[in-house]
Amino acid sequence: MLYFAYGSNLNHFQMKRRCKDSIFLKKYELKGFRLNFRSKYRAADIEKKNNYLVPGALYEISKSDEKKLDLYEDFPILYKKMYFKYYNKKVMTYIMPIKSEFRYPTERYLNVIKRGYKDCKLDKSYLVKALNPQK
């Protein structure tokens, strides 16, 4: 199964530890969405927004990896699953159904994401924009 990561699961070390079968395939830009941080956990989320995109990573994951991700992402409470197509293949990602206000992420969490941006060779300007939503 294909999985799209856009937050802390971009971090290759963390993703491998969490999902032992996961294979990083490539970086991918999800168009029509914007990155945000919210909830009491100050966690990454995506929201529909025209003329925006969210840089992330496509992983191949197993059924047991998906179960581990479900636990980590507090599915179906904090996150719901969203699906989109990539070359006729179904891709799963997580999205918060409750769009609370912006909450700046913790330093530790943000550092894990920054490392993930490096690991996947993503454009950090999107992360910088998401951390300054007023601009």
User: Quick one: pLDDT at residue 20?
Assistant: 98
135 pLDDT tier (thresholds 50, 70, 90): low
Q: What is the pLDDT of residues 60-112, one digit of tens each?
A: 999 999 999 999 999 999 999 999 999 999 999 999 999 999 999 999 999 99
The mean of the pLDDT values for the chain is 97
The CATH code of domain 2-125 reads: 3.10.490.10
* Domain locations in the chain as residue ranges: 2-125
**Which helix (H) or strand (E) is 5 found in, with range?**
strand 2-5
User: Quick one: pLDDT at residue 133?
Assistant: 82
